[in-house]
Amino acid sequence: MNEYKQDFPILRDPNYIYFDNAATTQRPRQVLDAVEHFYQTENANPLRGLYEWSVRATDAYEGAREKTAKFIGARKASEIVFTRNATESLNLVAYSWGRTFVREGDEIVVSVSEHHSNILPWQMVAKETGAKLVWLECEADGSYKMEEIENKITDRTRVVAIAEVSNVLGQPKPIREIAAAAHRHGAIIVVDGAQSAPHRRVDVTDMDADFFVFSGHKLLAPMGIGVLYGKAELLEAMPPFLTGGEMIEYVTREDATYAEVPHKFEAGTVNAAGAVGLAAAIDYVGQVGFDFISEQEEKLTALLMEELGKIPHITVYGSKDPADHCGIVTFNVDGCHPHDVASILDADHICIRAGHHCAQPLLQYMKVSATCRASMYFYNTEDEVYRFTASLAKVREELGYGS
C-alpha cells in the first residue's frame, strides 16, 4: 500500500486504476485545501492592492512565483511568468520572441518526438518569417545521438525547441549538452518540461535553458496554471503577448508603456488561486522528494515492462531500460486498435490514454497510427500494475481473438 495515495480523495476508490498521469495527475487534499483556503480567507483581485485582502492575495500570488522560481532553480522570481499551461507558455515564446527575433533564412530545430504544442507554434513562426523547420530524427528506441544534434544545430539555427522528456516514450534527452550546442551557434533553446518537471529535479540555470515551460496540472496542481521561465534579458527584450489590464505603466489614447517583467506578460486578472495551488503542489512534491518519485516510478515501470513481456501479442515501444521511461509505457496489442483496448480496460475501471498523444510526427516515424499509453506516478502501486496487466491479458479474447 502506498501511504501517499490516502492524500488523494479521488484515488481512495479502490476500484479505479489511474494510469493516465502523463495527461494530468490527480490532486492531493493539501492542494485542494490551499485553493479553498485562498478563496475563503484572502480572495481579492491581486496586484491592485489598496486594502488588506488584496494585499494578501498579491502576497499569496507573488509567494507562489518565488516558490516556483526556487523549484526550478531560476535566479530571480521575476523570471517566472504564470500562464494557463505549457501550451500557452510555448505560444507566448513563439508569438512574442519568435515573431520578433526570427528572420527569413533562420532555422528552427525541433525534435520529431515533440508534442504538437512545441511544433505548431514554430510552424507558425516559420511560415510568417520565412524561417525553416529542421527536424532532429531519433533512433528506434526514441533516443537522440549527439552526432545528429551536432549536425542539425548550425550557425543558421536561431531556435532549438525541444522537450526534456517525450510524452510518448518517456525518454529523457541530454538537455545540458543540447543547450550548449545551441549556444555555441548563437541560438536559444526552448525546453518543454511538461513531462520532466513533475518527475525529476529541474535546474534551469544548470541546464542553461533560455526558456523552460511546464503545466501545473501534470504536477498535482489545479488545471489552468502553467509556468514560463525565461532568462531576464530575453523577457525584457520581448513585446507583450496579450495586452489589457494590469500589464501597463501608462496608457494614453494612442499609446502605452508596459509594466515590468513578469507582469508585462500577465494581462488581465490572474489565476491567483491556481498559483496558490501550484505552490502547495510544489511543497507536496518537495515532501515526497524526487528520490522517492523516481525510485517508485522506476520500480513500477520495471514491473510493468516485465509483466507486459509475459503477455503474448504485445509490443512495447521505446527504450528497454525502465529508467529511461519516466513512468510512461507505450504499447500496442496485435490486431487490436488502441481505442478498442482502452474501451475494454475502461470497462474494468482502468484509465489509460489511447491515440496519437498529440505527437503525430513521432507516430508517423514509428509507423503506427495510434498506441496505448500507461503512465504512472509515485502514488501508483505494484498491485495496480498486476491488476492492469491481468486485465490487459484478456483484451484480445474480449476482442474476439482465440485466447
Position 337 contacts another protein (CB under 8 A): yes
Q: How far is CA 386 from CA 255, 308, 346, in A?
A: 63, 10, 16
Q: How far is the CB of 400 from another protein (least distance, A)?
A: 3
Interface residue with another protein, options 336, 376, 385, 392 (CB under 8 A): 336
Interface residue with another protein, options 105, 269, 339, 390 (CB under 8 A): 339
Position 283 contacts another protein (CB under 8 A): no
Position 356 contacts another protein (CB under 8 A): yes
Q: CB-wise, 18 or 82, nearer to another protein? A: 18
Kindly state the DSSP code that residue 144 receives in the 8-state scheme.
-
Position 365 contacts another protein (CB under 8 A): no
Position 400 contacts another protein (CB under 8 A): yes
Cβ–Cβ under 8 Å, residues 347 and 16: no
Position 120 contacts another protein (CB under 8 A): no
Piece of the chain touching another protein by CB under 8 A; list 48-56, 63-71, 194-202, 395-403: 395-403
Position 401 contacts another protein (CB under 8 A): yes
List, as one string, the DSSP characters of 296-361.
Answer: HHHHHHHHHHHHHHHSTTEEE-S-S-GGGSTTEEEEEETTB-HHHHHHHHHHTTEE-EEE-TT-HH
Cβ–Cβ under 8 Å, residues 21 and 214: no
Interface residue with another protein, options 36, 52, 137, 346 (CB under 8 A): 346
Q: CB-wise, 43 or 391, nearer to another protein? A: 391
Burial 153-189 (b: 16+ CB within 10 A, else e): beebbbbbbbbbbbbbbbbbbebeebbebbeebebbb
Q: How far is the CB of 230 from another protein (least distance, A)?
A: 33
Coil, strand or helix at 375: strand
Coil, strand or helix at 283: helix
Q: Is 138 a catalytic residue?
A: no
Query: 3-state SS of the chain: helix, strand, coil percent to 5?
Result: 45, 15, 40
Burial 39-59 (b: 16+ CB within 10 A, else e): eeebbbebbeeeeeebebbbe
| φ, ψ dihedrals at 153, nearest 5° | -90, 115
Site for another protein in 219-278 (CB under 8 A): none
Q: How far is the CB of 332 from another protein (least distance, A)?
A: 12
Interface residue with another protein, options 150, 177, 246, 340 (CB under 8 A): 340
Interface residue with another protein, options 344, 350, 372, 376 (CB under 8 A): 344
Position 359 contacts another protein (CB under 8 A): no
Q: Please, which residues have CB within 8 angstroms of residue 216's CB and are 6 or more apart in sequence?
A: 85, 222, 223, 224, 225, 226, 227, 274, 277, 278, 281
Position 160 contacts another protein (CB under 8 A): no
Position 386 contacts another protein (CB under 8 A): no
Interface residue with another protein, options 316, 370, 382, 387 (CB under 8 A): 370
Position 387 contacts another protein (CB under 8 A): no
Interface residue with another protein, options 200, 343, 381, 387 (CB under 8 A): 343
Position 399 contacts another protein (CB under 8 A): yes
Q: How far is the CB of 356 from another protein (least distance, A)?
A: 7
Cβ–Cβ under 8 Å, residues 86 and 192: yes
List, as one string, the DSSP characters of 251-280.
Answer: E-SS-EEEPPTTGGG--SS--HHHHHHHHH
Piece of the chain touching another protein by CB under 8 A; list 43-51, 126-134, 285-293, 334-342: 334-342
Site for another protein in 190-209 (CB under 8 A): none
Identify the active-site residue in 326, 336, 358, 372: 358
Burial class (CB in 10 A: 0-12, 13-18, 19+), 233: exposed
Piece of the chain touching another protein by CB under 8 A; list 31-39, 124-132, 290-298, 392-400: 392-400
Q: CB-wise, 2 or 343, nearer to another protein? A: 343
Q: Is the dihedral of CA 244, 245, 249, 254 positive or negative?
A: positive
Chain residues that interact with another protein, rule: CB under 8 A: 336-340, 343-344, 346-347, 355-356, 369-370, 398-401
Which residues participate in catalysis according to the annotation? 358
